Structure 1
Amino acid sequence: MALSMRSTVYILNKVLVVGVLLSYVASVDKSNFKTCDQSGFCKRQRAYKPDQSPYVALLDSVQIEPTKMKVQLLNTQNQVRLLLEVIGLERNMARVKINELNPIKPRYEIPVGDVLIGDPKQDKIEISHKDGGSISLAFQSNKIVLQSKPFRIDFVASEHPVVSLNANGLLKFEHLRLKTVTQEEKKEGDEKQEGENQEGQGAEERPEGQEQAAEEEKEPEAKEPEEPDMWEESFKGHSDSKPNGPTSVGIDISFPGFEQVYGIPEHADSLALRSTKDMDPYRLYNLDVFEYELDSPAALYGAVPVMLAHNEKQTVGVFWQNPSEAWIDISHNLADKSVLSKVVDFVKGGDQIPQVDTHWFFESGIVDIFIMLGPGPADVFKQYAALTGTTPLPPMFALAYHQSRWNYNDEEDVSNVDANFDKHDIPYDVIWLDIEHTDGKRYFTWDKSKFPNPEEMVRNISAKGRKMVTIVDPHIKKDDHYKIYKECRDLGHFIKNKDGNDYDGWCWPGSSSWPDFTKPAIRQYWASKFAVEEYEGSTLDLHTWNDMNEPSVFNGPEITMHKDAKHDGGWEHRDVHNIYGMFVHQATVEGMVARTGGLLRPFVLSRAFFAGSQRWGAVWTGDNTGEWGHLKVSMPMILSLSITGITFSGADVGGFFKNPDSELLTRWYQAAAYQPFFRAHAHLDTRRREPWLLPEENMKVIRQAIRERYALLPYWYTLFYKAEKDGGPVMRPLWVEFPSEKGLFKEEETFMIGDALMVRPVTAAGTQGVNVFFPGGTEQYWYDTDTTERVFGGAAHYVKTPLDKIPTFQRGGSIIPKKERIRRASNLGRHDPYTLVVALDRKGSARGDLYIDDYHTFHYRKGDFIYREFIFKDKVLENKNGNPGSTFTTPSWLEKVIIMGLSTSPSAVTISSPKSASTSLGFTYDSVKMILTIRKPAVNIAEDWTISIQ
C-alpha cells in the first residue's frame, strides 16, 4: 500500500535523526566542516599580500570632534572610499570603526543593548601633532598615531607601542556592489527572456526605447575583476546564493612588545594561542561539533572575538564587535624598531622587539574594534565588562553539583537517583532531564507515559532543597497540533529561507523551524512561554537548559543553518549567525525572571554563546569525550572563556561520549570540583556512571571531591559576587595573579580560583606525582590544603598524587571562608556556621572577605547583603563591615578559626566586640605544623569582633 506524503516525510525524518544519533557515537567527521580553502571569503582574505596596502588616509578630509576623529580612506586600486572613525572612550579605551562612505545599502551592525550594554561613554581626544603624512592624537595618558600612506594606526601606552592596526597592510574591505554580468551570462539571460516572452500569453510589447533602458539598468556600478565564490558557492551539495555578493572585511592587528596572545574562544586548544603559519586560521563560527578534535583551531559552539596580549609590564585587549563568521591568523615575529620609531622614541635595546601579528577577517559587517589599554589584567577585565557587562551573581544552587545524563528514563528513575545520593551521603543540588522527557521532542511538554506527574516530581525534589533542569531547544517541531509551532507559524515568528517561506530543517524532532530570536518581539514571545501557567508541569524550582542553539540543523551546511536564510529586517543569517544562540539564551533567561515578577534569580545553561553571553548565565564546552586528553584540554578551554568574560563555565564531568574508566572519572570529578560550573553529563549510549556505581574506593574519593566543593561554596559565592562587580574571572590563569613572571605565560595545567587558591589537577593515567611550580618568588608562602605543609614560592616542587589527592594550595596572606558541615543540598546549610582558614604570609599577615545574601533573589541589588572583610595583622584577627548601610542579617556564626604558619604557641586567645567584653577562647596548637585551631568563638559572622592572640 502506498505511503501517504505525511508518512513518507515522517519516515525520512526518522531515518535522518537516527543517522545523526548513530554519528554521535562516532568521532567527528572533519569533512562536514569547511577549511579556509573551502571558504570563499577566507581564501580571498588569506591570499591578500602584506605590505601592498592600497589604502591611504586622506588627511585633508580630517574632522575633529571633542571625542572623535573622522577621516576618509581611499582604496587607490578601485577608488572606493571608506570612513574611518577613531573614538576616545572612558576607562582607557578607544574604538575604531571603518565602514563604506557611501554604501549602496546598509551593512549589519549589532544594535546597542544587544552586545554592548549601552553607548560606551566617550572621552576627550585632541590633535597633538600633525604633518603632511601623519596625525598624533593625545588620549588620556596615551597616544594614537595615524599614518596616511600606507594607512596604519598605532596605539601607544606608557611610551610603548602596544597595538597596531594595518601595520602589515592587510586591510581588505569588500565593498557592496552590483554583479558584473559577463557576455555569456547576458546572452543566456536574453535567450531566456526571449523564450519567456514568446511562451507567455498576453505579454505586452515594450515601448520603443524601453528595452535599451532596461539593458542600461543592468550595467554594474563598478567594474572590477571577479574572483571565485564571490556571488555563489557550494559545500557538500549545499548552495549559498550570496545575493549581496562579496561583503567580507579584514585587517591585521599587531601587538608590538608581546610574545603571547590569548582568548578568541571557543577552541579545543592551548591557552596561549599558537602560530597558524602551517595550519588553518582559528575559526569563530558557532557549530555543533560532537566529540571534537583536540589541539585544533577549528570552530566549536561559541564565538567571542576578544583577544588579550600580555607581557611583564602590560596587558592589552581587542574586541571586534561582529557576529558573522570569522577566521584569525596568528604569527609570532620580530618588529623593526625603525618602523615603530615613527610613533615612539626607543631609548635602549636592540633593533627589534617581539611582536605578535594577527590577521582577522569576517564574512560581513563592518570593522568595529575596541582597543582596551589596561595597563594590567584586572584593568582589561573591567574595561571589557564596561562594554559588554558582567556575569550576574548566580543563585547558590547553581554553583553546587549538578547531576545529568541523556536521559533519566522516567519519574521512578529520577526518584531512585535522588535517593541514592542521600543513601551514599553525596551532596547534589540539581538533577537534569534531556530531550527524552518531552512528548516527541516538543519542548515545553512532557512524555506523559514516563512523566505523568511532573509537578509532583519537581516538588519531591525541591522538598529536599534541590532543583530540576529541563532542556528547551530552539528547533520547533513542525506539527499543526503543537501549540508552540502553530503560534509561531501563525504569528510569522520563524526565520525565512531565501525564497521567503518558513525555513525548514531537520533536528531532533525531525522537520523543524526556528524562531527568529534576533527580533525583540519574538524574544518576548519566547520568554512568555516559561510562565508557570504556560509551561504545563513546571514550577518555580524548574530551571532551563538551551542546547543545539548554534543553531544545529542536521541537514544544513556544516550542520547549521543556510547563510542565505532571512531574519528580521532583511538581514541574512550570515550577518547574525554567531549571535543567534545568545539571543536564545537571553530570551530564556528573561522568561525565567518574568515568571517570578523579577524576584528570583534564574539559572539557564547555554551551549552557543557570543560576546555578552556572560550577562545571561552559564555555558559549557559541549560534547566532549571520556578520554584523558579531553579532561586535560578542559582547563585551557575554561580559562580562555574566563578571561574573555564568560566566567561561569565548565566541562561535562567524565566526558559526554564513551565510557571513562574509574580512574579517569575520579580524576575528572576532582578537577571539575574546582571549575566554575560543576556538572556530570553523559550520552544516551554510555554506561550509567553515577558515583555509587564505581568501586567503593573511587566512590569515596568522588564523594570527598564533591564535599570539598560544598565546603568552599562560601568562597565561590564571594568570588562570583566580586565578578559581577568588576568582571574579573573566577577561574584564572596564573599570570593574571602574577603578571610579571614570564615563566607562567604559557601555564595552563595549574590555575587559580580567585586570588587565594591554586589548583593543579591530575590529567594523565597512572600519575603518582606532579611537578608544581609555586609562583610569587621566595617571599611567597603556599600551604597544602590537605597536609597544611608550607611551601616557598619561586621554585617547582614534586607533589605526590595518590588517587585521593588533588594538589590544591592556599596562598600565604589569604583568608578563605568555608562551611564544614556538609548538607545534602546547599540550601539546607544556608544558616550553618563558618570556618575561617587563615594562611599567613611572610610578615604574619592575611586578608580575606565573605559575601552573604539570601542566595536566590535579586534583593542583593537593593543592598540587602552582608559583606565582611577579615584582616589578620600583629596576631589580631579583625572582622570589619564592608556594607555598613545594610540591614540584612544572618544567624550564621563562627565555629572555628584555623591559622596556618603561626610560628609560636599562644599563651591565650581572647575575643571581644563592641557588644561584649573580652572573653577567653579554647584553642590547640600543633608546633610541628605551626597550626593554631581556635574552636567555637560563637560570635555572629556578620558582627564586628576581634580575636587576639597573646
Structure 2
Amino acid sequence: MGNWLLILTICAAAIQSCVAVDRGNFKTCDQNAFCKRQRATQPGNSPWEILLDSLNSTINSLQVQVISSRSQARLQLQLIALADSTLHFELDEVNPIKLRYRAQESLSGSPQLSSLKITEQSSDSISLSFGGTGKAILLVKPFRLDVYDGDQLVISVNARGLLNFEHQRVRKSNEAARNEEPASEPTEGETTAEAEIKHPDEKPVEEEEEPGLWEETFKSHVDSKPYGPTSVGVDISFPGSRHVYGIPEHADTFALKQTKNGDPYRLYNTDVFEYELYNPMALYGAVPFMMAKRQQGTVGIFWNNAAETYVDIEESSSGSVVSSLMNLVSGGGNEPHQQTHWFSESGIIDLYIMIGPTPKDVVRQYGSLTGKTPLPQRFALGYHQCRWNYNDQEDVHSVNKGFDLHDIPYDVLWLDIEHTDSKKYFTWDPVKFPDPLEMVHNLTANGRKLVTIVDPHMKRDSSYFFHEHCEQNDFYVKDKSGKIYEGWCWPGSASYPDFFNPAVRDYWASRFALDKYEGTSLDVYTWNDMNEPSVFNGPEVTMPKDCLHYGGYEHRDVHNMYGMMVVEGTIRGQLMRSDYKLRPFVLSRSFFAGSQRFGAVWTGDNIADWEHLAIAVPMLLSLSVSGIPFCGADVGGFFNNPNTELLTRWYQAGAFQPFFRGHAHLHTKRREPWLFDEQTNKLIKASIKKRYTYLPYWYTLFYEHEKTAVPPMRPLWMEYPQDAETFSMDNQYLLGDSILVHPVVRSGEQEVSVYFPGVDTLWYEIETYKVYEAPGYQTIPVAIEKIPIFQRGGTIVPKKERARRASSLMTKDPYTFIVTLDKQGKAQGRLYIDDGQSLEYQKGSYIILELNMEGHTLSSKVTNQGAFETPELIEKIVIVGLSRAPSSIADNTGRILEYRYDATSQSLVLRKPNFSVSNEWSVNLKM
C-alpha cells in the first residue's frame, strides 16, 4: 500500500505541475549554499597573487602557481594558445585530494595549438602575445588576466577580485579539531595532498560552522558532500561591451538582463513543466557560452564546466575597477559595460577566451572547440507531426492518410511514450501496435519517416531485457552508498544507465540494431526525452547530486552533461545500424556544449499562448549563437489549446525556424490541420507548403553551418555588427544573409514595425516584391494570411516551388531562383545539392552552384561536383528590381529565352530555361 501511495502522490504532483510550474520544486540562489557563498565574495582586495618563481613556459603555454595570501592555498594556472585567436585559461588545485572532473566530452577533439610568446616580464606583470592580434597581460598582485585584441582591452578576468576556489578537504569534528596538534606530516592513512589541504598554513583547521558545507537539505532531500565545499568562481568583465548573449536555456530576452537585484541566471538541467517567462530559472539544457557585443567588435567565452553553474550580470558603474582600467588603457571615458560573475559547484575553472573580432569569427572559434551540427538528412528540415500520443496503429494510419487527403506535406510522424509496452523502451505495446513494421512501411511508401521516443529511465522489471542486462553488467548509476540508484519516472520504479561508462554507451547503441529493436527499419529515428535526467521523486525533479558515476565522479560534477551522453550513444547506434552509410537524426530535450554534434533540440514544454509564441524567437536565437543551430519550439504550444488565430500565427512563424514540429500534450484537443475551419486549414497548409518551397535554401544554410559554424537562424547584428539599433532586437531575425523574418506574436495585430538593416540596402517582400529601403523602421500591414518576410537586395535564393507530400518526393523536381537586385544591379547566391541522406557528401559527393548577377548577366559556376550526379533542372528564374524590361534574353549558347516582365513589381520571370544544375551557364539581358 505504501508504494502505491507514493506512486499516486508522485503522479498527482506531476499532473498538478502541468497546470503551472511549481517554483517550490526548484532552488533559488538563496536556497543553494554554494551560490550564496560565491555571491557573498566581495569585490576588491583579492588575496590571490602569482608566484613568479614557479613560472614555466613552452612554445604554446605558460604554467605558474597562484597563491592566496590569506590561506596559503595554491592553484595551478595554465594558459594555452589555441589556433584561431583563442586563449585557454585553466585553474585547478595543486595536489587535490581527488582529481576534479574536467568536461572534456564537450570538446569535438583536441584543440589545435598556436604560439604563446612572453614579450615582456617584470615583478609586476607578464605580457604575452597569441593568435595574430591577441595580447594578454598577467598582473601579479593581485592576480588578474587582461586580454586585448590589438590595443583594445576586450576581456578582464578577476579585475573585480571575485576569484573564489574552494579546496577539497577532509571532514573532522569540532571536538577533534580543538584537541588536535598542528601537523605538517600526513597522519596514518592520509595522503600528503590531504595533509596540505587540511593544514595549508601549518595550523589546525576547525570545521566551519556555516551550513551547507558538508551536507545540504532541500525539502526532504539531503545532499551529502564528502569533500566539503568545492565550488569555483571568478568575475569576467567585457570592457566596451554593453550587451551579452548566450548561456541558454532560459525563457528570457535575447540580450541578457542585469541580475544584481534578483537571482543569477542558472544553468542546471531540469524537467520544468509550463516554464515561466522572463526569469533566469534553469530549464532543460545548459550551454555555458557567452558572446559580448560592442560596436567595434565581438568576443566570446566558454566556461567548460558541467556542474551546476550560475552567472551574475551587472552593468559597471562609473568609477568601477574595470571602468577605471579602460580609461587608463584606452583613453576612453567610464562608459558602462558588462561585468559577469561565473561560479560552479564543482570542477575546475576551465575557460576559453575567443577574441573575434566579428560575431562570425566568434562562432567559428567556438565551433572549432565544441563542434558543428553535421548536415542533417533533408527530411529532418521538413514538417514533423507529433502529439502525446497517437493512440494506436490505426490512428497513425488515419493521420497519415489525412495529410494526403488534404494535400498537406509532412515528413515525419512521431510516437511518444504510450507506444511502448508498459513504458519499457525499445518495445511496442502488443495490443495498440501489433505490427509496427507494417505501420512503418505504410509511412515510408509515401516517402515519410517515423520517430519513436527512447528515454533513459529504465523500468525495474525482471522481465525487461534492458533492465536485466544493466543489472547483470553493472551499468546503472549508483547512489552515494554504492547501490543501484532507484528513482521514479513514467514507468514507476526506474534506474538510470550510467552513460559516462563507455561500455554502457556501446550497449545502448547496440540496441538500435534492426534485429534488436524489433519493428523498426532504417526509416525509424529517435527522440531522447526526459534526459536531464528527469526523476519525479528526486531533488528538483532530477537525480541526487551525490549519486556516483563511472570513474568515481559524483553526479554533481557531470549533471549538465548527462543528457548529451545519452544522445551520443543514440547517434552511434543509428550510424552502426546503417553501417555508417546514413546520416542519423535524434531530437534531445537536454543538452550541453557540444550537443550540437549529435542533432536537434527543442525548447520543451511550452504553453499555447501568445507570450510563448513570442519568447520562441529569443530562445532560438540564444541557442543558435551558442552553437546549437538545429532548434525549434513546439508549434501551437505543448500545453493547453490554442485558438485558430494563435495556431495560424504559430505555423507561420514555425515554418521559418530551423526545427519545425507540431506537438501537443496528451490532454489537449487534437490539432491536425484539417480538424479546424476551412480558413484555418488553408492558412496552415499554406505555411507548411511555403516551408517546403524553401527547403533548398535551408539545406544550403545547414551545409554552410557545418563548414563555417555560422547558424542558419541569426540575429541581425551577426550580419550588421556595427548597427547598434540591432543589439537588443529579438522580435525579428535573419535566415542566412538573405531572408528577414518578423513573426506576428500578438492577437489581433493589424500592423508591425519592421526594422530594415544595412546602409543603402533594399529589402523585397517575398510575394509582392514591394521594395523597402534601409536603414530604418517601416510599418508593415499584417493580414492573417501571412507574416512579414523579406529578401535582401543583392541575393539569390534557391527554391523548389512544387511542394509535394514529403521532401523525398521532391528530389528530382526542378529549381527556381529568386534574384533580388541591389542598387548596383548585382546579386549573389549559392545552391548546395547532394543525395539528401547519406554520408557520401563528407567524401566530396555534392554539387555547389555559385550564382552571380552583374552587368545584366546572370551566371553560374560549379565549384564542387565530386562523384555526385543529378538530373535536376532549373525551371524558373525570377529577377526583381529591374526598372524596365529587356529587349531580349539569351543564354550562353545564343538560345533566345522567353520571359514575362511586370512593371508594377519590376520583376522579370524567365520560364523553363531548363539549365542543368550540374552545368555552368549564363543568361544575358539585353537592355
TM-score of Structure 1 vs Structure 2, range by shorter chain? over 0.9
Question: What SS does the corresponding residue of 1:920 show, helix, strand or coil?
Answer: coil
The answer for the alignment partner of 1:763 in structure 2 is 745
1:330 and 1:359 in contact (8 A); partners too: yes
Q: Kindly provide the amino acid, as one letter, of the partner of residue 511 in structure 2.
A: K
1:480 aligns with 2:471: no
Per-residue deviation, 1:918: 1.4
Structure 1 counterpart of 2:884, which letter? T
Partner of 2:565: 583
Residue pair 1:664, 1:765 contacting (<8 A) in 2 also: yes
Q: Which residue of 2 aligns with 1:78?
A: 71
For 1:322, the equivalent position in structure 2 comes to: 305
User: Which residue is equivalent to 2:202?
Assistant: none
- 2:108 matched to 1:117? yes
| Aligned residue among 120, 139, 143 for 1:147 | 139
Whichever residue aligns with residue 111 of structure 2, its letter is: P
Deviation at 1:336, TM superposition (A): 5.0
Q: How does 1:778-789 map to 2 (within 5 A)?
A: 779-789=760-770
What's 1:879 paired with? 860
Matching residue within 408, 413, 423 for 2:390: 408
Identity rate of aligned residues, in percent? 52
CA displacement, residues 140-168 of structure 1 (integer Å, 9 cap, x when unaligned): 32210011111110001031100000000
Report the alpha carbon displacement of residue 363 of structure 1 after superposing the two structures with TM: 0.4
Greater CA drift, 918-927 or 212-221 = 212-221
User: Within 2, Cα distance between the matches of 1:731 and 1:145?
Assistant: 36
Contact kept in structure 2, 1:156 and 1:344, CA below 8 Å: no
1:60 corresponds to which of 38, 41, 53: 53
1:221 CA displacement: 2.1
Query: Separation in 2 of the partners of 1:243 and 1:75?
Result: 24
Quote the Cα distance in structure 1 between the aligned partners of 2:392 and 2:262: 47
- Equivalent of 1:162 in 154, 157, 160: 154
- After the TM superposition, list the runs of 4 or more consecutive aligned residues in structure 1 that deviate by more than 6 angstroms: 184-187, 212-220, 337-345
Instruction: Look up the match of 1:134.
Output: 125
What is the RMSD of the two structures over their aligned residues, measured on CA atoms? 1.9
Report the CA distance between 1:403 and its aligned residue. Answer: 0.2
Q: Summarize the Cα distance change of 1:648–1:687 in structure 2 as closer, same or farther, 3 Å threshold.
A: same
Q: Which residue identity lines up with residue 880 of structure 2 in the other structure? A: M
Contact 1:498–1:566 under 8 Å retained in 2: yes
- How far did residue 277 of structure 1 move? 1.0
Contact kept in structure 1, 2:637 and 2:663, CA below 8 Å: yes
1:440 deviates by 0.4
How far the C-alpha of 1:244 sits from its partner, in A, is 1.4
Q: TM-score, normalised by structure 1?
A: 0.94
Q: Which residue of 2 aligns with 1:200?
A: none
**1:831-910 mapped onto 2 (5 Å cutoff):** 831-884=812-865, 886-910=866-890
SS of the aligned residue for 2:504 comes to helix
Residues of 2 paired with 1:801 and 1:26: CA distance? 33
Q: Which residue of 2 aligns with 1:364?
A: 346
Aligned residue type for 1:36: C
Asked whether the equivalents of residues 316 and 323 of structure 2 are also in contact (C-alpha less than 8 Å), the reply is no
CA distance in 2, matches of 1:13, 1:414: 34
1:262 paired to 2:245: yes
Q: Secondary structure at the match of 2:290?
A: strand
**What TM-score, normalized to structure 2?**
0.96
2:12 is the alignment partner of 1:15? no
Corresponding letter in the other structure for 2:792: R
For residue 666 of structure 2, what is the aligned residue in structure 1? 684
Q: State how many pairs are aligned.
A: 911
- One of 496, 501, 507 as aligned partner of 1:514: 496
> How far is the alpha carbon of 1:481 from its aligned partner?
0.3
CA 1:345–1:442: 2 relative to 1, 3 Å: same
**In the alignment, which residue of structure 2 is the partner of 1:458?**
440
1:2-58 alpha-carbon deviations (Å, 9 max, x no partner): x7xxxx64x346424532442243100000000001001001000111112111111
Q: 1:235 to 1:46 in 2, by over 3 A?
A: same
Q: Residue 908 of structure 2: which of 932, 938, 945 is its match?
A: 932
Give, as a single letter, the amino acid of the residue that structure 2 aligns with 1:867: I
Query: 725, 729, 742: which is aligned to 1:747?
Result: 729
Query: How far apart, in 2, do the equivalents of 1:882 and 1:653 lie?
Result: 38
CA contact (8 A) 1:325 1:362 kept: yes
Residue in structure 2 matched with residue 298 of structure 1 by the alignment: 281
1:424-464 deviation line (CA, Å, top 9, x unaligned):
11100000000000000000000111000000000000000
Opposite residue 177 of structure 1, the aligned amino acid is: R
Report the AA paired with residue 144 of structure 1.
A
Aligned partners of 1:254, 1:279: CA distance in 2, in Å? 19
Change (3 A) 1:679 1:339: closer
SS in structure 2 of the partner of residue 470 of structure 1: strand
Corresponding letter in the other structure for 1:824: R
Q: Which runs of 5+ in 1 are unaligned?
A: 188-211
CA contact (8 A) 1:396 1:856 kept: yes
Verify: 1:920 aligned to 2:920, yes or no: no
Distance of 1:498 and 1:337 partners within structure 2: 45
What CA distance in whole angstroms lies between the structure 2 residues aligned with 1:899 and 1:655? 38
Equivalent position SS for 1:354: coil
Q: CA deviation at 1:361?
A: 0.3
1:801-850 Cα distance to aligned partner (Å, 9 max, x none): 01112100000100000000110000001110000000000100000000
Distance 1:339 1:762, change over 3 A: closer
Give the AA of the match of 1:329. D
Deviation at 1:116, TM superposition (A): 1.1
CA shift, 1:911, in A, is: 1.2
Q: Distance in 2 between matches of 1:274 and 1:216?
A: 46
What is the identity, as a one-letter code, of the residue corresponding to 1:847? Q
Partner of residue 184, structure 2: none
User: Which residue of structure 2 aligns with residue 422 of structure 1?
Assistant: 404
**In structure 2, C-alpha distance between the alignment counterparts of 1:559 and 1:929, rounded to whole Å:** 57
- State the 1:349 CA deviation: 3.8
Q: Is the 8 A contact 1:13 1:506 kept in 2?
A: no
State which of 202, 213, 233 in structure 1 corresponds to 2:216: 233
Instruction: Give me the whole-angstrom Cα distance separating, in 2, the residues matched to 1:216 and 1:174.
Output: 19
For residues 185-228 of structure 1, give each alpha carbon's deviation from its aligned partner in whole angstroms, at most 9, with x where no partner exists: 999xxxxxxxxxxxxxxxxxxxxxxxx97999999823154422
How has the CA–CA distance of structure 1 residues 185 and 482 changed in structure 2, closer, same or farther, with 3 Å as cutoff? farther
Tell me, what secondary structure is at the counterpart of 1:69? strand
Contact 1:881 1:943 in 2 (8 A): yes
Number of the residue aligned with 2:809? 828
Q: Deviations over 1:329-380 (max 9, x none)?
A: 0001146599678799656543x13321000000000011000111101111
User: 1: CA distance between counterparts of 2:737 and 2:873?
Assistant: 25
Once residues 620 and 745 of structure 2 are traced to their aligned partners in structure 1, the CA distance between those partners, rounded to angstroms, is: 15
Distance in 2 (alpha carbons) for counterparts of 1:386 and 1:520:
24
Distance 1:338 1:590, change over 3 A: closer
Question: Which residue among 781, 788, 792 is the counterpart of 1:807?
Answer: 788
Tell me if the contact between 2:238 and 2:339 (Cα under 8 Å) persists in the aligned partners: yes
In the alignment, is the contact (CA less than 8 A) between 1:645 and 1:727 conserved in 2?
Answer: yes
The 3-state SS of whatever aligns with 1:881 is strand
Which amino acid is the alignment partner of residue 79 of structure 1? Q
Matches for 1:308-707 after TM superposition, within 5 Å: 308-334=291-317, 346=329, 348-350=331-333, 352-707=334-689
**Matching residue's letter, 2:853:** F
Residue number in structure 1 paired with 2:183:
none
Closer, same or farther in 2 for the Cα pair 1:13/1:418, shift >3 Å? farther
Task: Kindly provide the CA deviation profile for residues 454-478 of structure 1, in whole angstroms up to 9, marking residues without a partner as x.
Answer: 0000000000000000000000000
Check conservation: 1:335, 1:355, Cα contact below 8 A: no
Equivalent residues of 1:171, 1:252 under 8 A apart: yes
Deviation at residue 67 of structure 1 after TM alignment: 1.1
Could you say what secondary structure the match of 1:658 adopts?
coil
User: Which consecutive unaligned segments of at least 5 residues does structure 2 have?
Assistant: 180-186, 200-204
Judge conservation of contact 1:13–1:510 (CA < 8 Å) in 2.
Answer: no
Measure how far apart 1:278 and its partner are: 1.2
- Counterpart position of 1:102: 95
Alignment partners' CA distance in 2, 1:410 and 1:255: 55
SS at match of 1:527: helix
